[in-house]
A = this chain, B = another copy of it.
């Protein structure tokens, strides 16, 4: 698939490496394609780097791997995203990880959908660290990647692209369920940092 990844930080980088390795055509959408970090990613993955608008317009799937505060601008720069499958990988983290800025009766994902009303938004790749996106294998057990959204086809694409990275994909329902998946992300962060468990932890939904 043709995938545009907006943002080339730790999450965008991990997703892009994984999908390029799985044979997808990846373009990183960034503000500055000459940034040495971006150039390094491009050299390592065989992916391209382009403007946000270009990365989005040529893609079937656009992954928003931006800091929450940069996400509304990224959607605007991406040119509306009508009809595209859009992965919202963000978390609306308050300063100092003190909490979330959105939640309970809304979510970052629902905000994104309001900014891009014709996009097919899926919340995914927000509930674990970039280290797990690079390698979701825990001694032969695949970490779970929860996702949610209102478009059945877009969710099928999301599940497949999560499996391509080695995740066990689990559909958590409609986009409103992002109100549960964003707190789950903060739980991962709190366990890793505040509770001192470190980043080599991952959620698994076990089945009996």
Residues of A near any B CB (own CB < 8 A): 99-100, 103-105, 138-139, 141, 143, 146, 170-173, 177, 179-181, 183-184, 186-187, 190-191, 194-195, 197, 200-208
Contacts and interface: CB of A to CB of B under 8 A. Distances in A.
- Number of this chain's copies in the complex: 2
Given A172-B187, A179-B183, A184-B183, A197 B201 contact: no
A201 B191 contact: no
14 contacts: A104-B104, A141-B206, A170-B191, A172-B190, A177-B190, A180-B184, A180-B186, A183-B183, A183-B184, A184-B184, A197-B205, A200-B208, A201-B207, A201-B208
Contacts of A203: 203-206
Instruction: Sort A-B residue pairs by CB-CB distance and give the 10 closest, nearest first.
Output: A104-B104, A200-B208, A183-B183, A138-B206, A204-B204, A180-B187, A103-B104, A180-B183, A202-B206, A204-B206
B195 A172 contact: yes
Contacts of A181: 187
B184 A205 contact: no
Nearest to A106: B104
Contact of A173 (B194, B201, B208): B194
Given A99-B179, A204-B206, 17 more contacts: A99-B105, A100-B104, A138-B207, A143-B206, A146-B187, A170-B191, A172-B191, A177-B187, A180-B190, A183-B184, A200-B207, A201-B206, A201-B207, A201-B208, A202-B205, A203-B204, A204-B205
Nearest to A202: B206
